[in-house]
Amino acid sequence: MLTALKRIVRSSWISVLLIAGIVAGAVIGHMWPAAGELLGSRVDATLLVLVTLLFFGVRFEAIVRAWGNLRFLGLTLLATYVLVPAIGYAIASVVLAAHPLFMVGLVIYFMSPCTDWFLGFTRLAHGNVALGTALIPINMVVQLLLYPVYLHLFTRGPVEVDAGIIGNTLLHWFLAPLAVAVLAHYGLRRLVGTQRFGRLLHRVDQAVPWVIALLVMEIFAANIAVILEHRSVFTWVLLGVFIFFVFTYFLGEGISRLGRLAYPEHALLTMSIAARNAPLMLAVTMAALPGQPLIYAALVIGMLVEFPHLTVLQRVLLDRRERGTSGCHAGHGTSAHEGARNG
């Protein structure tokens, strides 16, 4: 529990870092345009560092844990890659119909499930953390494979998307860093031992928010003039994100009841379809769709709202669990929770 609490505290600091990055980048780009251009020229290098760090922390051997719960895995994949993207597209296309580039950014934000911090919130909500760990590499791989498909389906018109360019982008910008990160992960783990490698993973985990904040600062420093021209749209982006979180909550409730999920799996499903993978999608999108600051800004705004929402969501789940109205069998849920903790 203490570790999970630390993660939530760190999550609040991520929001602070993102705001600081936005403000610093905006001030630099507005006051010193040459310095803003210089920061913008460093975006590619920062992207490579961010993607490599994100991949470095993933344990792909955890996939084998999911095979023991194929029913839950099937429900989660259906919700995550069919229902949630459809809901997200419907919301974004209605709320931001007059602002197509912001709409594209919001759709990209909505379509990609989180692969890291949702697990801390799942633990606080007494969800099935062991099964959640197995979802991380699955979501990482599937969302990258589906990214060009979703982009083709949902963004026709606002941006020109070339499937060949996206394929090359994923190959050179993400599959290559993935190979480097995986080799480094397993090589260093064998070389330095489990205990020291665990400390290294912790340091990498701590470094990721700072790299994201640096990337956000570079984006805003290089593109603040264009972003300020559309500042009135930010309220609509926030409204779209809020509506999305409401809909995904009720989607999780409905699937959990229809699937008769025990509480730990119910909590895990709710958190996994609510949390989004903005850092990776920001990196992917900047490489696949260069020169689109409004799309990037929509992704950053969604990230700012997400942490407070997940904090409230875990409290709602715990309250429902304590009142016995979560739609799960109390005895079965407790037993499954103990199994998750032991796992």
Q: Which domains does the chain have, with CATH numbers?
A: 2-342 (1.20.1530.20)
Contact 21, 193 (CB under 8 A): no
Contact 213, 51 (CB under 8 A): no
Backbone phi, then psi, for 162, in 5-degree steps? -105, 115
Backbone phi, then psi, for 113, in 5-degree steps? -75, 150
Q: Radius of gyration over alpha carbons of the chain, in Å? A: 20
Confidence of residue 241 (pLDDT cuts 50, 70, 90): very high
Q: How far apart are CA 118 and CA 211, in angstroms?
A: 19
Residue 81 DSSP symbol:
I
In the chain, pLDDT over 70 holds for what percent of residues? 82
Tokens of 275: 């949390």
Confidence of residue 258 (pLDDT cuts 50, 70, 90): very high
Residue range 215-224, pLDDT digits in tens: 889 888 887 8
Residue range 130-143, pLDDT digits in tens: 788 788 888 888 88
∠ at Cα 253 (315, 324), nearest 5°?
A: 60
Q: How far apart are CA 118 and CA 28, in angstroms?
A: 33
Q: How far apart are CA 335 and CA 331, in angstroms?
A: 6
Q: What is the mean pLDDT of residues 244-250?
A: 94
Residue 101: what residue type?
L
Tokens of 65: 């844990």
Q: How far apart are CA 273 and CA 305, in angstroms?
A: 15
Looking at residue 334, its pLDDT comes to 41
65-81 in b/e form (b: 16+ CB < 10 A) is ebeebeebbebbeebbb
Distances (CA, A) of 233 to 111, 240, 300, 305: 21, 11, 14, 15
Among the listed residues 341, 317, 337, 335, the one whose alpha carbon sits nearest the alpha carbon of residue 327: 317
The alpha carbon of residue 216 and the mean position of all alpha carbons in its chain are separated, in whole angstroms, by: 15
Residue range 192-223, pLDDT digits in tens: 988 899 899 888 878 888 887 898 898 888 87
Contact 257, 327 (CB under 8 A): yes
Strand partners, 38: none
Residue 230 DSSP symbol:
T
Neighbours of 102 (CB within 10 A): 24
Q: What's the full length of the chain, in residues?
A: 343
DSSP-derived 3-state class of residue 156: strand
Backbone phi, then psi, for 128, in 5-degree steps? -80, 90
226 exposure class (CB count in 10 Å sphere: 0-12, 13-18, 19+): middle
Confidence of residue 66 (pLDDT cuts 50, 70, 90): low
The alpha carbon of residue 255 and the mean position of all alpha carbons in its chain are separated, in whole angstroms, by: 21
Residue 82: what residue type?
V
Strand partners, 113: 276
Residue range 77-110, pLDDT digits in tens: 999 999 999 999 999 999 998 898 899 999 999 9
pTM of the predicted protein model? 0.73
